[in-house]
Amino acid sequence: MARQLPALTLEQLTVELGSRARAVETLRWLFSQRPMPTVLPEAIEGVSHRVWKPFRARHGLVVPKVTERQQSPDGTTKYALDFAGTNVETVRIPAKGRSTICISSQAGCTRKCVFCATKELGFIRQLKAEEMVAQYMLARSEAPVEQPASNVVFMGMGEPMDNLDEVLHAIDVLTQSPAPQLRQVAVTVSTSGVLPGLERFLAESKASLALSLNATTDEVRAQVMPQNKTWPIQSLLNALRKDVERRNGKRDYFIEYVLFKDLNDTDADADRLITLLEGIPSRVNLIPYNPYPGTNLETPSTSRVRAFHARLVEQGMLTLIRWPRGREIAAACGQLVLSRDGEGFQPSAP
């Protein structure tokens, strides 16, 4: 199917517009507008009307409708977006000197992680690369100038490895010159561990990889992530090890580890995690579980989270605790789910 803006690559635009210079002008224009444009204009500078007019007649611009915009006191902004009747969520997370945009790759999710609120939606549909790039464009156009949208994480709704063609195309567009020209390492794809997709991603992409490990034994992991029965822990870590060898360490690997009280938060778990990650130069992100009603999982105490962190650090592991951001607006990890008209799941207040 023919691509639309904003998911046309420089090469595709060059063919369509008949010159690379016009393609460059078009991309520059597209990613510099504030607010995000909702239609293609009648003319843009640097592209002759003769060429632009038929191009504009052939191509639309995929634009989300913002149905809700919620900002938490730390500046984290959650957007509820509507793409022609399909609802998804995008989060903009400001930090010093930059913003990270958390993008959804599916409406709902193909996976059934017990602890994740998105599963309540079931699987609605795959998002197109256009819709992923448009999420970025919108958030980028609203990022403070001193906190530009330099980073993207595919950590919103959905399992990126189950929609990999579109995710890879979106990454191509996000990292291309002249705009938006994100660095490959500044784009991170997060997976629950879908082995076939993970292997293909590692073979085809230079972007960073986050693996949501969330447990140190197959027994516990299968309890919270049923797909672990198909792709157990070692199969996933072996894929990473192979990639470390192939790429000679030229990729950033993150291990996401949601901490659940009394399930995966013991010192023995911390020690097992160190052993599991041998041979994988990775950084661990500890995410204290963001609770939502309907599970019997609990969040460990702050002191347990700190002790787990300390035990990893003592053994030389680069480890960060991801204290929840945007929890007030249910924008934290695993809280992306829509609540319209009182239907569906309503995120609880903190």
Binding site for ligand SAH (CB under 6 A): 115-116, 155, 159, 190-192, 212, 214, 256, 258, 287, 289-290, 333-334
As beta bridge partners, residue 84 has: none
Q: Write down the least CB distance from residue 262 to ligand SAH, Å.
A: 16
Residue with tokens 């609770």: 291
If one counts every other C-beta atom within 10 angstroms of the C-beta of residue 234, the result is 11
Q: What are phi and psi of 109, to 5 degrees?
A: -155, 145
Catalytic residue among 25, 89, 131, 256: 89
Q: Write down the least CB distance from residue 93 to ligand SAH, Å.
A: 13
Q: Write down the least CB distance from residue 170 to ligand SAH, Å.
A: 14
Q: Write down the least CB distance from residue 347 to ligand SAH, Å.
A: 10
- End-to-end Cα separation, the chain, in angstroms: 44
Residue (116 or 179) nearer to ligand SAH, CB:
116
Question: 39-66 b/e with 16+ CB inside 10 Å = b?
Answer: ebeeebeebeeeebeebbeebebbbbee
With beta carbons less than 8 A apart as the criterion, state whether 30 and 63 touch.
no
- Computed on alpha carbons and rounded to an integer, the radius of gyration of the chain in Å comes to 21
333 counts as catalytic:
yes
Q: Write down the least CB distance from residue 334 to ligand SAH, Å.
A: 2
Residue nearest to ligand SAH (CB): 334
Catalytic residue among 102, 113, 116, 333: 333
Q: Write down the least CB distance from residue 14 to ligand SAH, Å.
A: 33
Q: Are strands 149-154 and 318-321 parallel, antiparallel or unpaired?
A: unpaired
Residue (137 or 333) nearer to ligand SAH, CB:
333
Residue (164 or 258) nearer to ligand SAH, CB:
258
89 counts as catalytic:
yes
Residue (6 or 334) nearer to ligand SAH, CB:
334
Residue (3 or 327) nearer to ligand SAH, CB:
327
CA nearest 188: which of 253, 113, 133?
253
Residue (159 or 265) nearer to ligand SAH, CB:
159
Which H/E stretch holds residue 219?
helix 218-224
**Active-site residue set:** 89, 333
